[in-house]
Chains A and B, each alone.
Chain A
Amino acid sequence: MLKKALSDCGIRIADCGLPIAIAEFGLRIAEYPIPKLLAAIAFRNPHSETRIRNPNSAFRIPHSQIRILPSAFRIPQSLMPYLYNTPDDQREMLRAIGAESIDELFAPIPADLQLKRSLDLPPAMSELELDRHLQMLAGLNDHAAKKVCFLGGGSYDHFVPAVVDAIAGRSEFYTSYTPYQAEASQGNLQVMFEYQSLITRLTGMDVANSSLYDGASAAAEAVLMALHAHPQRRKIVAPASVHPQYRETIATYLANLDAELVTLDCPGGVIDADALAATVDGDTAAVLVQQPNFFGCVEDADRASAIAKTAGALLISVFDPISLGLLKRPGDYGASIAVAEGHTLGTPMSYGGPYLGIMACDQSLVRRMPGRIVGETRDRRGKRCFVLTLQTREQHIRREKATSNVCTNQALFAVRASVYLAQLGPQGLRETASLCLQKSRYLAGRLCENDRFSLAFAAPTFKEFVIRDAANDVDGLLRTALEAGYLAGLPLAPWYPELSDCLLIAVTEKRTKAELDGLVHALSAAPARQEALS
């Protein structure tokens, strides 16, 4: 029956067994006239079988029966949009190589290790089909234009100016590799040098590298730096007000090393200075401070810094780049290493990545820094230029003695951050920070007009804050708000069981008064659970 269906489609079947004929059909299409093929396309089911579809009938062949046959012919390039080699090219190239077939080139792979079937993946799609498929999938997501986003916790719905996309969309930037050949990469190198300069100005630190993966892994790398700088000290102190995912990442990085992560409770939403002073000791290599912290509260960074310094420990600042339009810079309060999640500088939320790990440090630590660093120098003719430098820290030179294993970084997001910072300038950054502050405080105030809601912590906040629901029905609140079109906030229960009646709400410069009032209305209208009220 299958033979008949295929021959109905004009496809001749070799004398070999049926499954082989199918494989030939599926994998070596070039042997058959294309127009006929289009009438009978092989669909590979992701699960277990291959389907042959023609206008009249459908058949299923178990994958286990499919075999790949050697053949000199390859997929017609019409099906493969990025390949150049025509069958004639291939023949000529094989002749020059002195090989009979492409399969012969794979002969060094022992036959018993070669895959005897085709990969179990969905069939190829044209660009139009792919676009339609992705539009469908994207349409299933409630993105920021569909639901007003009040979510924070390390990712924020800040505005991205068009100029950022225009520059980062230059393919000379996004399709180039790491600037190992300085002469062919002065554009990237100068942008990196300027990025490092912008970050040092933003943070008040001495030097910056040219990017790490993201904020959390940058924090973990900072911890490793501190441990190397203090080989006798084994303790890292992180208050509970540091982003839980950052602390989890640090814990992962320390799991197999001789070091200990000590978490300091923050019942008041900020570091308790006395408790910190009692925890930090001569064995402490570093103290982490997040500013503003995970709850949005502004820490007394000067105090934490003084405590760390007294014990001879390094202060690692985890900062919010936007906040530096208003708040003191990490360098101002004596941080030795400053790290941040930099996506807020010109990169959309992108479901969490790729992002930008910012790292800056004291001059004294520069040779311990992970990642690539760009420096200024002169060329053969005395012209100012830029190169990758201090490479003896890095894995490609030092291998197991390197300061870190980082190779590929997030260079394109350093480009985005640079353009963003240039676009905003000092004034724009200040205004952005100010809008975040004013709007979030307005929202907090409005919410607390309702007796049901109160601020969980007394400390002043910047763009995020924690509200407590007296009715203890965070899930209900979130559900009601979602129906009204708002992603109202992050429930804290997964990370802080004692805050299971609390919601972390973030407000960026993008939120309008109408949206803020709308959220207040939606949350106030939420019915409280019966048992909570009684």
Chain B
Amino acid sequence: MRNTRDTQLLFDLSKPGRRAARLPACDVPERPPEELLPAGAIAAAAPALPEVTEPQIVRHYVNLSTQNMSVDTHFYPLGSCTMKYNPKRNERAAAMPGFADLHPLQPAETIQGMLHVLYEMQQYLSEISGLAACSLQPAAGAHGEYAALLVAAAYFRDMGQSEQRKRVLVPDNAHGTNPASAVMAGFDTVAVKTLKNGGVDMADFYAKLDDRIAVFMITNPNTVGIFEPAMRELADAVHQRGGLVYLDGANMNAILGVTRPGDFGADMQHYNPHKTFSGPHGGGGPGAGPICVTKRLAPYLPGPVVEKELRGASCEAREDEIAPFSPLSPRNSQLHRYSLTSPPKSIGRVRSFVGNVGVLLRAYCYIRTHGPDGLRAVSENAVLNANYLLSRVKHFLPVPQGDRCMHEFVASGSRLKAERGVAAMDVAKRLLDFGYHAPTVYFPLTVPEAIMVEPTETESKETLDAFAETLFRITGEDPQLLHEAPHTTPISRPDEVQAARQPTLCCPVF
């Protein structure tokens, strides 16, 4: 039960002389720090951290945790975020000392098990994407976008086209990270219009497509949850102009084993394993952003990547000698060895060490738990759930894109707003009162009063029914009640303008 009393700031709990940690006595001969370090480098005092006891810490944070909604406690249909169940077996696996207590620069021969997982992940992700090569470096989806765009830039530089190809085309309903990544990678962005159904406006696309194109970034299924109707034509047109197609893979949960980006024209993509492959979001992170690319872009991938050597020979040649799925049986460990390498024309690294391996390890568990048919079943049920919810919601909240969707749909609250003065945000806030996390609202920007719902496959029909009924009930409620919602949460309608105008970003030291 929520304890609303114990939510003082951590710093308010502090009293001089309290402490939680005791360290072992120093077991080597000690010398005064002033003898060991230059006087000018030593701090006058230790940092002003709070002085608290361990039970205080536990009560403080546990009580704060109860002020959150989470996947483990609530239905969390946050569009574009794929808030599916985060399996506990994955958590336990990532915490195994044999994975958690490895130093990132240990010699390869001491981490063959870890490298096996990462090598296999490269293979699995390539297979699922239909693209030849994979790098696990990037730390999140946006980081993957950025890394892949750097790969594209390096490729064009190699082709002697970097002066010519400066433009990245991005549909106007794309996630904000797409244009932001393109600019960071040194490109100019050109927004391409989209139609009411979410598909790319082909006339606008052709008007903006010319020989200056470097990359066309597309999210498919896109951010309104439909499969881009002109995908093939778009990809062909970009390729004809010598450009590359980037797939924002945030919505892979809809198409696992159904279709592959490499097969529908993508040259590069990122994954969000913290969405598609059940990595917990951690209140905002961590994620990971592995990228897959075609064979011709593989030499530019960020490194390191994991390589498998087979008795000195390249692995393709002797692969057939290895019994499936027992790759590290005593017999096979003599057959091959994993190591880290950098691709020959690599753009370099985009962070320290190999990648967010803890997230990738969970994704590995997820893929191994499902197998090929299970992954397809995930997408089938994600799409079924979304369509089912759409079929229930469309009667009272218009869904401009039509009657069908992939893994998510975007309803519009514009009629509600016009007729009753109720905004999408009001609906979102009121849902919290009924114990549902709000859908994503006001994204994509192309749908007025957007309410973006992604139920995921790890929810039941009963939950979807109850959610739809609640949503229906809310649309008929007193507008004033809705403007002031939520009514049951610890706080309601924070003043965001004030927060930004006179920012208080930390607790002052007295």
Contacts and interface: CB of A to CB of B under 8 A. Distances in A.
B418 interface: no
Contacts of A114: 258-259
A395 B180 contact: yes
Contact of A122 (B27, B176, B325, B349): B325
Interface residues of B, number: 211
12 contacts: A97-B387, A97-B388, A110-B232, A134-B96, A174-B86, A178-B281, A224-B184, A326-B43, A332-B43, A422-B20, A426-B47, A427-B19
B283 A130 contact: no
B145 A249 contact: no
A170 B124 contact: no
B354 interface: yes
Main secondary structure of the interface of B (DSSP, over half): loop
Contacts of B93: 130-131, 134
B411 to A, nearest CB: 16
B360 to A, nearest CB: 9
Contacts of B68: 172-173, 176, 184-188
A460 to B, nearest CB: 5
Given A197-B11, A379-B494, A256 B101 contact: no
Interface in B61-81: 61-62, 64-73, 76, 78, 81
Interface in B394-433: 403-404, 406, 428-429, 432
A333 to B, nearest CB: 9
Contact of A424 (B21, B87, B288, B499): B21
Contact of B36 (A161, A415, A437): A437
B160 to A, nearest CB: 15
A125 B371 contact: yes
Contacts of B117: 137
B112 interface: yes
Interface in B364-404: 365, 367-378, 380-381, 383-385, 387-388, 390-392, 403-404
B273 to A, nearest CB: 11
B139 A354 contact: yes
B106 interface: yes
B505 A366 contact: yes
A411 interface: yes
Given A387-B499, A412-B286, A213 B351 contact: yes
Interface stretch (A2-10, A14-22, A140-148): A140-148
B211 interface: no
Contacts of A402: 176, 180, 183
Contacts of A178: 281, 283-284
Nearest to A183: B489
A432 B351 contact: no
B461 A85 contact: yes
Interface residues of A, number: 217
Interface stretch (A76-84, A280-288, A525-533): A76-84
Interface in A200-226: 200-202, 204, 207-208, 210-211, 213-217, 220, 224
Contact of A155 (B65, B103, B356, B378): B103
B114 A351 contact: yes
A525 to B, nearest CB: 20
B150 interface: yes
A202 B503 CA distance: 20
Contacts of B460: 84-85, 89
Contacts of A449: none
Given A140-B116, A256-B185, A349-B101, 17 more contacts: A26-B373, A27-B373, A74-B381, A99-B387, A113-B259, A141-B112, A207-B505, A217-B350, A325-B46, A353-B351, A354-B356, A372-B284, A380-B484, A389-B500, A390-B503, A405-B177, A487-B103
B36 A411 contact: no
Nearest to B100: A348
B46 A430 contact: yes
Interface stretch (A32-40, A43-51, A233-241, A307-315): A43-51
A408 B500 contact: no
B179 A406 contact: no
B380 A349 contact: no
B391, B495, B506 interface centre (most CB from chain A within 10 Å): B506
A252 B137 CA distance: 13
B493 interface: yes
B181 A405 contact: yes
B312 interface: no
B367 to A, nearest CB: 7
Contacts of B100: 143, 348-350
Contact of A153 (B73, B105, B365, B388): B105
B372 A354 contact: no
A137 B98 contact: yes
B111 interface: yes
